């Protein structure tokens, strides 16, 4: 028979306590929770730490602990994540745009030889000034002037369509989890080794040729994805 850890039992009780609460609602202090549930502060602290890691609550130094619901992002085929994230209230910062040779992963996704010339667009997504996601897009070949065109339109897909005549017909998404390395952890303001939700997307033209490969890394404690499907 498996014994349920004490902290896990208290975690479930805290979740029941905040059921129906609004984002920003405060939680009782650790001492009050310990007294309410008749357990130790150490157990309560462990339960709260796990809820913070899951993004259900957040702690603010000097203010306390508050309910935090990750913003749901509706992922729709044939829209770029910049459009989906824009609707969720996220702004973007362009970290860099450069021409460079394709590495093995990018070459495989874009169906070009390793080392072939591509355009890389690296962006950071923010909400209320807090970095939440890093998005790195790779386009086959050269796109002269894309920095100005992207700044004017915001959406990558809109930029490709309106400025370069590239129409996208379909997209394949692969969603998984990865642990944050030093570079990404620094950009997102999280500890090395924290979980990231990673989406790899390959978008194609009507003739099946790949036109974009994007890797989007989202803070695992700040995002939920919602996908809607319908039978054709």
The residue whose two tokens read 């973007």 is: 92
Higher pLDDT, residue 173 or 145: 145
Answer yes or no: do 189 and 89 share one domain.
yes
Residue 232 lies in a domain: no
CA-nearest of 175, 171, 166, 153 to 213 is: 171
Point out the domain boundary residue: 39, 67, 95.
67
Answer yes or no: do 122 and 196 share one domain.
yes
Answer yes or no: do 105 and 144 share one domain.
yes
Q: What is the dihedral of CA 83, 89, 186, 142, to 10 degrees?
A: 20
Return the CATH number at 33.
1.10.10.10
Residue 145 carries which DSSP code?
T
The residue whose two tokens read 């017909």 is: 169
Point out the domain boundary residue: 52, 67, 82.
67
Answer yes or no: do 137 and 218 share one domain.
yes
| Residue-wise pLDDT tens digits, 116-128 | 999 999 999 887 7
Expressed as residue numbers, the domain containing 62 is 6-67
Point out the domain boundary residue: 18, 52, 67.
67
Answer yes or no: do 63 and 77 share one domain.
no
Judged by average pLDDT, the poorest of 38-52, 54-68, 139-153 is 54-68
Answer yes or no: do 22 and 45 share one domain.
yes
Residue 181 lies in a domain: yes
Give the SS3 label for residue 55.
coil
**Taking 60 as the threshold, does the pLDDT of residue 73 lie above it?**
no
Residue 178 lies in a domain: yes
Residue 132 lies in a domain: yes
Give the whole-number percent of the chain exceeding pLDDT 90: 45
Answer yes or no: do 132 and 217 share one domain.
yes
CA-nearest of 71, 96, 97, 70 to 86 is: 71
* Cβ pair 121, 111 in contact under 8 A: no
Q: Where does the pLDDT of residue 138 fall: very low under 50, low under 70, confident under 90, or very high at 90 and above?
A: very high
Answer yes or no: do 62 and 43 share one domain.
yes
Answer yes or no: do 93 and 192 share one domain.
yes
| Residue-wise pLDDT tens digits, 75-129 | 544 444 545 554 455 678 899 999 999 998 899 999 999 999 999 999 998 877 7
Residue 44 lies in a domain: yes
Answer yes or no: do 221 and 179 share one domain.
yes
pTM higher than the cut 0.75: no
Return the CATH number at 198.
3.40.1410.10
Count of structural domains, the chain: 2
At residue 230, the pLDDT reads 58
Give the whole-number percent of the chain exceeding pLDDT 70: 84
| Residue-wise pLDDT tens digits, 182-217 | 889 899 988 888 888 888 999 999 999 999 999 999
Q: Which residues of 122-160 are buried (b: 16+ CB within 10 A; e: fewer)?
A: bbbbbeeeebbbbbbbbbbeebeebeebbeebebbbbbb
């Amino acid at each position: 028979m498996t014994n349920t850890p004490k902290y896990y039992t208290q975690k479930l009780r805290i979740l029941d306590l905040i059921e129906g609460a609004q984002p920003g609602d405060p939680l009782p202090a650790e001492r009050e929770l310990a007294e309410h549930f008749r357990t130790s502060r150490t157990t309560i602290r462990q339960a709260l730490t796990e809820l913070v890691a899951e993004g259900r609550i957040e702690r603010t130094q000097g203010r306390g602990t508050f309910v935090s619901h990750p913003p749901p992002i509706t992922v729709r085929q044939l829209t770029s994540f910049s459009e989906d994230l824009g609707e969720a209230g996220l702004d973007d910062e362009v970290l860099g745009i450069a021409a460079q040779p394709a590495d093995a992963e990018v070459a495989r996704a874009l169906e070009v030889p390793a080392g072939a010339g591509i355009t890389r667009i690296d962006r950071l997504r923010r909400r209320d000034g807090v970095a939440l996601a890093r998005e790195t897009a790779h386009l086959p070949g050269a796109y002269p002037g894309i920095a100005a065109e992207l700044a004017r339109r915001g959406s990558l897909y809109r930029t490709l369509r309106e400025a370069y005549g590239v129409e996208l017909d379909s997209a394949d998404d692969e969603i998984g989890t990865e642990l944050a390395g030093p570079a990404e952890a620094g950009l997102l303001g999280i500890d090395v080794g924290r979980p990231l939700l990673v989406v790899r997307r390959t978008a194609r033209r009507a003739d099946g040729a790949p036109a974009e490969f994007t890797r989007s890394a989202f803070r695992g404690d700040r995002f939920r994805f919602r996908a809607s499907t319908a039978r054709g």
